[in-house]
């Protein structure tokens, strides 16, 4: 396996800091099973499967919608959160 697994801090990390979201906010708002460890690995840049990246994207969008009043219409995509 020649593929690099650790890709450095991802845009997801900076966005979560900007929005004031914690790992727990994503875990608690996720409609599918998601762990704190998975969120931390995503933020640090560990290569994740496409399915897990979609799960994290959905959780982030739900967490933002629940936190902002009135809800912001912006929805982030995989390409906004991950640079691989």
Confidence of residue 71 (pLDDT cuts 50, 70, 90): low
Range of the domain at 38: 11-81
Residue 5 in domain: no
Residue 59 in domain: yes
Confidence of residue 11 (pLDDT cuts 50, 70, 90): very high
Model confidence, pTM: 0.86
Residue pair 39/56 in contact by the 8 Å Cβ criterion: yes
Residue 1 in domain: no
* Percent composition of the chain: helix, strand, coil (DSSP 3-state, to 5): 55, 0, 40
Residue 23 in domain: yes
pLDDT value at residue 5: 76
Total structural domains within the chain = 1
């Amino acid at each position: 396996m020649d593929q690099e697994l650790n890709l450095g801090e991802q845009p997801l990390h900076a966005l979560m800091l900007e929005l004031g979201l914690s790992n727990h906010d994503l875990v608690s708002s996720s409609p599918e099973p998601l762990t704190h460890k998975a969120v931390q690995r995503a933020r640090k840049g560990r290569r994740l499967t496409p399915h897990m990246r979609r799960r994290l994207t959905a959780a982030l969008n739900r967490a933002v919608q629940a936190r902002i009043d009135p809800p912001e219409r912006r929805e982030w995509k995989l390409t906004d959160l991950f640079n691989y």
